[in-house]
């Protein structure tokens, strides 16, 4: 624990993962890197990054070595487990070789990941946006779920966390991580009261010194309000939350009629989605790393509560401090 004045917050999640605070620094495409992951873990939470933030499996291998040099604490890697991720099998082998403590799965069947991680004691949490899928992955043996609610950045869920968290808590036996719009310690306390065992915080960590994106993106986080977050299908083919920049206004929020047709045809659906994903990913990458008029910045509704760029450690300590202050104030 980095700060003795901040007592641990014990939950099912912290007991399972062996960390003092129930906070995951969310795995964010292009944003999360070795520095952000290790600093979040060293501060007592659990840093996470998508495997696809590194261009090749070999680069992922090197990154996991670097993360372990920087921290001896638990961390997580996010794996997309559907057919669009052609690296899934190779990346999973590298994850196994490094004995990564936790994998967060998205968009597909996590069974192989669960079976692989459990061979060495690793834990698997699965992104879920509804009860049906949550019950399915629980039956498959996952160790917990990430309850992605309305207000999240990227691919947000449709349900309010005020309903989704206690609903899942009624139905599931495994730990639940709340995700969607969470920035502050007060919100973390509310999530735990509603039935969560931890929180996953993304957008707040974009506005950190370690985040691997340019200053324009970070400044956009500070300038944006919740009303500026819109859902667009123009990035991946699935509605994703982004800041409503002039470029987003220009291209619109919906797929073209031709793309909609291709997405409804069983013969072309897979290829149409893959093409949209490739084009959208390249636009996101360009926006994250250099100034361009084609600005596409992923963010959640929590932007309105973010007012400064700080080191990851300071962000973690503020959240924990505010959690305890809010709890004492009840």
Read off the pLDDT of residues 223-244 as tens digits, 9 standing for 90 and up: 999 999 998 876 655 678 888 8
Asked if residue 190 and residue 152 are part of one domain, the reply reads yes
Strand partners, 34: none
Its domain, for residue 253, covers 225-298
Asked if residue 125 and residue 36 are part of one domain, the reply reads yes
Asked if residue 192 and residue 90 are part of one domain, the reply reads yes
Asked if residue 286 and residue 179 are part of one domain, the reply reads no
The number of distinct structural domains making up the chain is 2
Does 1 fall in a domain? no
Both tokens of residue 10? 């014990």
Asked if residue 245 and residue 289 are part of one domain, the reply reads yes
Does 155 fall in a domain? yes
Asked if residue 239 and residue 208 are part of one domain, the reply reads no
Asked if residue 274 and residue 230 are part of one domain, the reply reads yes
Nearest Cα residue to 187 out of 311, 65, 326: 326
Nearest Cα residue to 202 out of 38, 71, 23: 23
Nearest Cα residue to 65 out of 24, 97, 26: 97
The pLDDT score that the predictor gives to residue 263 is 53
pTM over 0.85: yes
Asked if residue 34 and residue 157 are part of one domain, the reply reads yes
Asked if residue 238 and residue 148 are part of one domain, the reply reads no
The pLDDT score that the predictor gives to residue 268 is 56
Asked if residue 84 and residue 199 are part of one domain, the reply reads yes
Tokens 């999530």, residue located: 191
Spatial separation of the C-alpha atoms in residues 28 and 49, rounded to whole Å: 6
Both tokens of residue 268? 């072309």
Residue 110 backbone dihedrals phi, psi, to 5 degrees: -90, 5
Q: Tens digit of pLDDT per residue, the chain (330 long)?
A: 445 578 999 999 999 999 999 999 999 988 999 999 999 999 999 999 999 999 999 999 999 999 999 999 999 999 999 877 889 999 999 999 999 999 999 988 999 999 999 999 999 999 999 999 999 999 999 999 999 999 999 888 899 999 999 999 999 999 999 999 999 999 999 999 999 999 999 999 999 999 999 999 999 999 999 999 998 876 655 678 888 887 777 766 544 555 455 456 666 555 545 554 555 555 545 544 444 435 678 899 999 999 999 999 999 999 999 999 999 998
Asked if residue 279 and residue 133 are part of one domain, the reply reads no
The pLDDT score that the predictor gives to residue 39 is 98
Does 185 fall in a domain? yes
Map residue 65 onto helix, strand or coil: helix
Total residues found in the chain within this entry: 330
Does 281 fall in a domain? yes
CATH of the domain at 136: 3.20.20.70
Tokens 């698997």, residue located: 124
Spatial separation of the C-alpha atoms in residues 47 and 40, rounded to whole Å: 5
Does 150 fall in a domain? yes
Does 4 fall in a domain? no
Does 217 fall in a domain? no
Asked if residue 118 and residue 256 are part of one domain, the reply reads no
Does 175 fall in a domain? yes
């Amino acid at each position: 624990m980095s700060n003795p004045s901040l007592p641990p917050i014990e939950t099912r999640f912290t007991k399972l993962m062996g960390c003092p605070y129930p906070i995951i620094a969310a795995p964010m495409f292009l944003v999360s890197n070795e520095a952000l992951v290790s600093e979040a873990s060293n501060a007592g939470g659990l840093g996470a990054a998508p495997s696809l933030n590194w261009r090749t499996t070999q680069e992922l291998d090197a990154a996991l070595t670097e993360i372990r040099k920087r921290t001896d604490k638990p961390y997580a890697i996010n794996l997309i487990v559907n057919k669009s991720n052609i690296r899934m099998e190779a990346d999973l082998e590298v994850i196994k070789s490094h004995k990564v403590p936790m994998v967060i799965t998205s968009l597909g069947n996590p069974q192989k990941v669960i079976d692989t991680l459990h061979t060495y004691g690793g834990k698997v949490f699965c992104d879920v946006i509804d009860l049906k899928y949550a019950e399915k992955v629980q039956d498959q043996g996952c160790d917990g779920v990430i309850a992605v609610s309305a207000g999240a950045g990227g691919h947000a869920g449709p349900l309010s966390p005020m309903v989704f968290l206690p609903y899942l808590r009624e139905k599931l036996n495994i730990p639940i991580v709340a995700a969607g719009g969470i920035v502050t310690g007060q919100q973390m306390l509310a999530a735990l009261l509603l039935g969560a065992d931890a929180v996953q915080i993304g957008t707040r960590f974009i506005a950190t010194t370690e985040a691997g994106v340019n200053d324009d993106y970070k400044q956009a986080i500070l300038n944006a309000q919740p009303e500026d977050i819109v859902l667009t299908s123009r990035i991946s083919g699935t509605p994703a939350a982004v800041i409503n920049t002039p470029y987003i206004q220009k291209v619109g929020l919906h797929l073209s009629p031709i793309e909609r047709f291709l997405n409804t045809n069983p013969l072309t659906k897979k290829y149409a989605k893959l093409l949209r994903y490739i084009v959208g990913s390249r636009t996101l990458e360009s926006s994250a790393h250099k100034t361009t008029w084609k600005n596409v910045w992923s963010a959640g509704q929590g932007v309105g509560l973010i007012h400064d760029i700080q080191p990851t450690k300071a962000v973690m300590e503020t959240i924990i401090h505010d959690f305890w202050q809010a709890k004492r104030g009840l």
